[in-house]
Amino acid sequence: MPEHFELEPDSLRNVADQHDRKASDLRAWGAVPDTWLAEFEQGYGTIAEPVRVALMHHYNQRKAATDDLAAIHEDTRDKLTLSAAVIESADTTLGQLIFAAYWFGSAEPALTTMVRPQTSDAASSRSTTMPNVATSHGHAMTDSHSNGSTAAPLPGQRDSAKDLDIGRAASDQSPPVAAHRAPAAADGFAVSATQG
């Protein structure tokens, strides 16, 4: 079977016209010849009355059968005509929506729902906070991107902030001054103390 096929409204209307003509032909063919049956007795006499009755029964059954078949063709005709109108209406409507979306960017096809990703302010401004993890040095490691927190160095890395604090503390202290005591006087001589 074909994966798809194209339908044109005009083609559907042509097929609908064929069904309409077929229904008309069936009804015309199945019509009861009332005029001929009315003159049957006059032409053949009363002896042919049973034949006339049988003919009436035959023609009535034929008319019922052809009427049923013609009704099927007429129903098919109506459905094809309706389908052609629906296709034309859908083409016109979707064409207008596509035209409006192309030129104005404000219309969306009614038969297609576009799913857009939903973003919220909370999701966009949310920061990821890592749980406190104890390192091998005994420090607690937190996420450096969390609010107001600083990240401890990973094992094997230097803590730049801690080193900076130690350097500042060392620079604030003056180096100790070594005091040299004078040696004790020996042999009556006095030795003066010097500072180096």
Residue 5's φ and ψ, nearest 5 degrees, are: -150, 150
The span from the CA of 9 to the CA of 53, in Å, is 48
Nearest to 184 by CA among 193, 175, 176: 193
**Can you give the residue ranges of every domain in the chain?**
9-103
pLDDT above 50 (res 123): no
- CA-wise closest residue to 78 among 19, 26, 22: 19
CB 150 within 8 A of CB 144: yes
41: amino acid identity, one letter: E
Residue at token pair 């053949």? 44
Q: pLDDT averaged over the chain?
A: 70
What pLDDT band is residue 170 in, cutting at 50, 70 and 90? low
Q: What is the pLDDT of residue 189?
A: 43
User: Is the pTM value of this prediction over 0.75?
Assistant: no
Q: Which residues contact 170 (CB under 8 A, 6 or more apart)?
A: none
List the single range of 7-11, 172-176, 187-191 with lowest mean pLDDT. 187-191
Cα(55)–Cα(34) distance, rounded to whole angstroms?
A: 11
